Chains A and B, each alone.
Chain A
Amino acid sequence: MTKSCAIVGGGLAGLCAYATLRKGGLEPAEIAVFGTDPDPAGAWRVRAAAIRQRRMRSESDGHCGPTTFPGLAVRAARRRRSPLPLLLSVCDRFNPTVEEFLEHVAEVRERSGWDESFHRGRIERVRAVEGGFDVEGRGVFAHVLLAPGHPGLNVPVELERDPRVVHAYRPHAYAERVEVLGAGMAAATEWLNALAAGSSVVSIRRREPLRRPLNLPRELFTRRGLGAFHRTSMDERLALLRAWSMPSYPPGRAWDEPIGRATRDGRFRVAAELDGADQIICATGFTRGFRRDRLLGRLVAEHGLETAGDWIVLAPDAVVAALTDDTRTLTLAGVPAQWAYPAADTLAGARYVAHGFLRRVERWRTR
């Protein structure tokens, strides 16, 4: 049997796509997965551990399975023998623990046969050729999903050589006086971590963070909000994507109470500029844009793909339209797919892209 599909990127988005293809009836022998670590949660696990994350921001359907049901709330209810996760889930208050999420990832990996399809290796070039795509000499595949992940950790240029600087997603301890750059979920987690470790914290930020449960308004996760998004002009869409990339973290007492207490005790304050602390934690996320990614940069350069700002222009189902037709498919997943699905860097986004990819593959298989 020849492999018809390739997934370039062995992370969570890759696993999600793989599980979806398997659900669609493809055998492991028909799919090749290329990545540097056979553990699809390998990179994510390190980052979550670095910021001591205990709970997911995502909810019950933030998982790697091909269907929203059964979600992690069902799984937790079964495991805990309690209906509480289900009740919390219908109120949008269920956030699985990191441990539960990682167990689920391991289950999907095991059940889907991921390891049978996994090939170790970093892919840095994918070229359109007759009948499909050449994946850096590993073969020609009719359908390729690129899930390269984040290009790298973002540290402001002026701080790159500062010895006090550590990125939030790298393992670290906390000094007595800590300055945390950023105002998103990672920054908020770091405020609490540092306070719990006994540090004094200065939040360095230029604007107040948004408070919302998920990193985007909920209607943008379905066609209800996507319809309007897909009808925007290029400039409008760029503006929207930039606006939606503003940092945010969830509302709730779990965040507010420790910060309120520390503020009253003089251990937490907000500042606009760095102020000579012992340690600077950059909770500034990841570098952005296809140009920062060697694989995507080359893809654009070699095929003259249409781009807008930091994004490659994609069709609503996240395919690169210029390189996709009835005989082959090139789909982007993860952050690069935000042009098609603003929440593409979430698990729901990975599933959305995977579903679109499967539809293309199925259409091709039934021709």
Chain B
Amino acid sequence: MAYTLRGRLETRLGVSLLPLLAAATLALSLHRWWPLELAGLMLGVGLALDVFVYHRLLRYQPGWLAAPLALGELAAIMGLATVLSVDPPLGAALSFFAGSWLFAQVLGHAVFPLGRLSYGEDGGELGRAGPAAAAVAAALLASAGGVAWATQPPTVTLAAGTHEGPLVLDREQTLEGEPGAIVRGGIVVTADGVTVRDVAVVGGQNGIEVDGAERVVLERVRVSGATLDGINVRRSSVTIRDCFVQSAGEYAQGIDISFGFDLEPSLVEGCIVHGGQEGIVTHFAHARVADNRVSGTSLRGITLTEMSMAKVEDNEVAGALGVGIFCGDYSMCEIEENSVSGTRPDLASDNRTRLGYGIVVHYGADATLADNSLHGNARRVGSFLHARISSE
């Protein structure tokens, strides 16, 4: 088809209506915005390419070209989704894109020509239906934007100074601390979509506890003095970024993410964790642990165990007692580009896995190791009880 510019735009808008509607329905049923954000991105990228690229370069567009153009659009959309932190689940996003594309092909090749006799010779223009499609698409996006604005979670600002906890966050909200805002006695999160940002937490059993909640974001939180876990996550999916956790008690741990294997993966990124038995630990969880600095732990630096599935990359683990990074109990671990140093043997233990290994793979676990820097450790890598190590 040799599209006119108007034809390209009207066809694009026409084929986007149902995906937009589907995205709105999906967003409502999932209580998530990514379907609409993705559909909006697809439409925006498509329209921009239509105006600035396709119309100028393609005087005639053969049918087969739709496939490579779609791949280019997909790359641009996913790139933008990453930049804009839309973060749709990859499989769902690809399925949504593929479904929308196929639907567009059916409309463009069959339904529009059947519905509008002169569709082909008009270069894809839809006549009076064209502006109507534009209006409906704009109305849909505007409505979605309006709903998003109206229903966005409230932001609660925590003033500087000390606030007695525990604070219980059982509604979707953003809790933002002013510089110097401190919560004494812990924060408990039980609602989906909670964000805690720039808050210091002192004391409590667990510094921050997340229980049965998804899409929780903990950004730039500082936790110290908790008697058990600095950050304790159960049956939840969280994103923890740029945190600082200082553990001191005999049973204290830095960050513990457990029992969320069936939920969306959690992320721990850019944190500094010092002290405690285990710095960062996952039990039966799906997680990515990246760019963290873990030091001075008394049991293990980073632990992935009880059938966890995790990627551990670009972390610095220093001065651990016994074990630097541990992958155990039928977990599957990708351990790449980490630096593990100064791991000391635990002379008080008769456990032979604790002889100061940089990395231990244990009890049926399966670990892939690549480009890790191990130096100054009592031992480098150990494999125990039917565990398997492969190297890239």
Contact = CB atoms under 8 A, between A and B. Distances in A.
Interface of A: 20, 23-24, 61, 66-70, 89-92, 217-219, 221-227, 348, 351-352, 355, 358-359
Contact of A219 (B59, B62, B110, B117): B59
Contacts of B7: 222-224
Nearest to B5: A224
Interface string B110-129: 10011001111111110000
B76 interface: no
Contacts of B368: none
A343 to B, nearest CB: 10
A347 to B, nearest CB: 12
A226 B59 CA distance: 12
Contact of B121 (A90, A91, A223): A223
A241 to B, nearest CB: 18
Nearest to A358: B117
A67 B114 contact: yes
Given A69-B113, A223-B7, A92 B62 contact: yes
B205 interface: no
A359 B114 CA distance: 16
A223 B4 contact: yes
Interface size grouping (class) on chain B: 20 to 34
Contact of A224 (B4, B109, B113): B4
B2 A61 contact: no
Determine chain B's interface SS by DSSP, over half rule: loop
Contact of B1 (A222, A355, A359): A222
B63 A91 contact: yes
A224 B63 contact: no
A91 B64 contact: yes
Contacts of B122: 222-223
B3 A222 contact: yes
B2 A68 contact: no
Given A223-B122, A224-B59, A90 B3 contact: no
Q: List the 10 closest A-B pairs by CB distance, nearest first.
A: A90-B63, A219-B2, A224-B2, A222-B123, A218-B60, A69-B113, A223-B123, A222-B2, A68-B120, A68-B113
Given A222-B2, A223-B7, A90 B64 contact: yes
24 contacts: A61-B120, A66-B117, A67-B113, A67-B117, A68-B119, A69-B109, A90-B64, A218-B2, A218-B59, A218-B60, A219-B60, A221-B120, A221-B121, A222-B1, A222-B122, A222-B124, A223-B121, A223-B122, A223-B123, A224-B60, A224-B123, A226-B121, A352-B118, A359-B118
